[in-house]
Amino acid sequence: MKKIVIVGGGAGGLELATDLGDKLGKNNQAEITLIDKNSYHLWKPLLHEVATGVLDEQVDNIFYASQAQQHHFLFTQGTFSNIDRQNKQVIITDFQDETVSIRYDILVVAIGSTSNDFGTPGVNEHCIFLDDQNAAIQLRETLITKFSSFCSMVDQNATSNSDKIRIAIVGGGATGVELASELPHMVDAFGACRHNKMCSELLEVAVIEATDRILPALPEDTALSITNTLQKRGINVLTNTMITKAESDGFYPKDGNTIKADIMIWTAGVKAPDYLKEIAGLESSRSNQLVVKPTLQTTRDDSIFVIGDCAYAMQGNGRAAPPSAQAAHQMAKICFENIIRSLNNKPMKSFKYIDNGTIISLHDTAQGVIKLLGKSQMGVKGFLALMIHRFLYRTHQANLLGIFKTMRFARASKFMYKTKSTSIFTHRD
Ligand SMILES: Cc1cc2nc3c(=O)[nH]c(=O)nc-3n(C[C@H](O)[C@H](O)[C@H](O)COP(=O)(O)OP(=O)(O)OC[C@H]3O[C@@H](n4cnc5c(N)ncnc54)[C@H](O)[C@@H]3O)c2cc1C
């Protein structure tokens, strides 16, 4: 029986494992194994909501073992580190810290991306990166600890009227903007639960962007409108601000100023993990992604497919498909078809990225552009945009769980949101 191994159970990898399990695993036509370093999946575009307590990661997670059992694939928890192409094995470190080799006939690499500090001095030491669920939980803990200590200082009259909690976020992309827009609401919720003097007026949030505007993936007028929304909520948007170093007290831009910060977050740029650079002699891009052919097979080994953020898939317009959940989902679908076709000795399909638009959630509203049926893009804003943003997540869930379970999940999340959303602030002293 053919062995298909997928490394990385994220936006792309888990959808692929589920589809392959349902199609091939169910009838014992192939053995599908998913490997992930974590025990559960959480859709990455929601990480800023986990970090700010809007989303309960215990409700919206999917345990790999349970998904594997229901969709006829195997799950191994372990950290992928290398590929032995000669013997067709992936090398992982399992949860007992043992090095284990897993044989494959077809390998799919889907390990996503990490933040890119572009080698900026001090960033690695002083900044928090919103790269995975553990980082999101760590950021939430850091924020709550900071809010708590600020309240203690207020109680001891150890603050002056001008004292604020300063949070600086580098990166004016979707991650930085969505995170910034949640922070004032997080502080207000904290204040409602823990300290009546605590409110968003005591917060100073800055979004720092090196280029002349935030959200380069959106049209200029939409990005400008989102900038205005952020500014109305008291968030500073600093454009043309290139950070040259970070120190424990804040960021140091090129212009010689200092942006003082108590909490420093880095969301600028993405790259594939460093160890992917030329792993096992495969071709890689400048940002460590593995270069793939239109079929999503690597340029130097047809038995290895790559999907999602760690794939460098050049498109007809001369640019690579963007690192997005949308692209990861579309790649998973083509990869699924191509694996089936390769097993049946049929010609494979080419991956062509279809941009369906981008929507940025801004806590209680959203704004962006959508493309309907490949037509020109249309601006959306407000409740409709927020619903479309939510719909994208529920579509991902429906791909994994089916429509009925997704509806149950949606109901549970809504219930937990109403009854438990502030519990992260109340259970500690
Ligand atoms: C806050 C935020 C908001 C975003 N908003 C949007 C949005 O609105 N729309 C959009 O399209 N995209 C958005 N994105 C980007 C999107 O999340 C990613 O592009 C997408 O998740 C990439 O999918 P993937 O399958 O390639 O990787 P991921 O979803 O990141 O999954 C990678 C998986 O690999 C696992 N893994 C990593 N390294 C190893 C290893 N060494 N061994 C084993 N397992 C490993 C991880 O645990 C993870 O499960 C957002 C990202 C963030 C952080």
54 lines ligand 1 (CB under 6 A): no
Binned at pLDDT 50, 70 and 90, residue 26 comes out as very high
Ligand 1 proximity of 126 Cβ (cutoff 6 Å): no
How many A from CA of 361 to the centre of ligand 1? 17
Convert the pLDDT of each residue in 52-84 to its tens digit. 988 877 778 899 999 999 999 999 999 999 999
Q: How far does residue 309's CA lie from ligand 1's centre (Å)?
A: 7
Lowest mean pLDDT among 192-201, 249-258, 261-270, 393-402: 192-201
Q: What pLDDT shows up at residue 285?
A: 97
The pLDDT value recorded for residue 140 is 95
| pLDDT score for 170 | 98
Tell me if 325 CB under 6 Å of ligand 1: yes
pTM: 0.93
Residue 356, φ and ψ in degrees, nearest 5: -95, 5
Atom of ligand 1 nearest to the CA of 41: 49
Please name each of the domains of the chain with its CATH number: 2-113+272-343 (3.50.50.60), 123-268 (3.50.50.100), 357-418 (no CATH)
pLDDT for res 429: 45
Is the confidence at residue 273, as pLDDT, over 70?
yes
247 vs 154, higher pLDDT: 247
Distance from the alpha carbon of residue 35 to the mean position of ligand 1, in angstroms: 15
